[in-house]
Amino acid sequence: MAGLKILITGANGFLGGCIYKYLKSKNHLIDVLVRNDINQILKKIDFKINNFKNIDCIPVLNKRYDYIIHAAAMPQNEAKKSYEKARLVNTQLTDYLAAYCQIKNIPLIFLSTVQVYGSNLSGNYTEESPTDLSSNYAFTKREAELKLIDRVNKFSLKTKILRLGNIVGRPILNESSGWDLFANKTILDAYNSKKIFIKNNPYLRRCFLSIDVLLNFLDNLFNFSSQNCFEMNHVINLTSGNSKSLIEFADCVKHYNKICIGNNVEIIINENLIEDVPSFTISNQILKDFMPDLKIIKVESKIKEMVCSFY
């Protein structure tokens, strides 16, 4: 396949950086919108008044792309401080880029989150399940989803909304905030101190997912024979189809430290925080239909790979 022209927003962040490195290795032609570029867009009068007629005044947008991957977002720990600021980045910027894609007839790939289903999950969830927006981050991501779907219905926008589970993968930069995520921090702490501190209820469950699922999904999407695939399944859960508790994840990290490099890692929990938590699954049936080889991409393999990469 000839190299595609792709614009990635948030390429200096955890997910955007991983996507950028991977797609560059596949010989695609990549442009980026990083934090400084986005801050400039947010200051423009056309953006502030929600006027998309002069969108080409943004130099990097005055080009033709095969795809735009919108990975830029205000993360949860920042979003909780201000709904208005979170909405500016997570919702309005998404709609701004969607308008550009609509005008230029470019498919938009939007990275959303399974957090739109809520924080206290129980049972099985599919793409059709009701949302439960319990945080500024989830609320503004869902607002962005609804704006995209509205443009699909009114203007035939081509989009894929990817509801990501908790991504596990080595950040490109050592100073990346991706190391602050529970999964990656657990692996890093096991290396640095041979101790894993679980500072929350150890039986809380998360939908952990190898970064390789996202990267392989993009490969499959780009290799698809027709862009008609954008006319179906606009929302897709990118999940493993199951969940792990925090302590189950930590036990897996401990296991691979022992068998791969001979390190004994201690897991430290606060017993006062222990509570029973119901099990849940976030269905990945649409993803499995799209990626027949999904079953071979295991989060355990990514944990092992990351553990071994430090040595």
Phi, psi at 169, each rounded to 5°: 180, 155
Contact 216, 18 (CB under 8 A): no
pLDDT attached to residue 310: 83
Mean of pLDDT over the chain: 91
CATH number of the 171-206+243-280+298-309 domain: 3.90.25
Reported as a single tens digit per residue, the pLDDT across 43-82 is 876 776 666 666 666 677 778 899 999 999 999 989 999 9
CA dist 204 and 157 (Å) reads 37
Contact 158, 108 (CB under 8 A): yes
Contact 101, 147 (CB under 8 A): no
Domain map (residue ranges) of the chain? 5-167+209-238, 171-206+243-280+298-309
1: pLDDT strictly greater than 60:
no
Fold entry, domain 5-167+209-238 = Rossmann fold (3.40.50)
pLDDT attached to residue 86: 94
Contact 93, 72 (CB under 8 A): yes
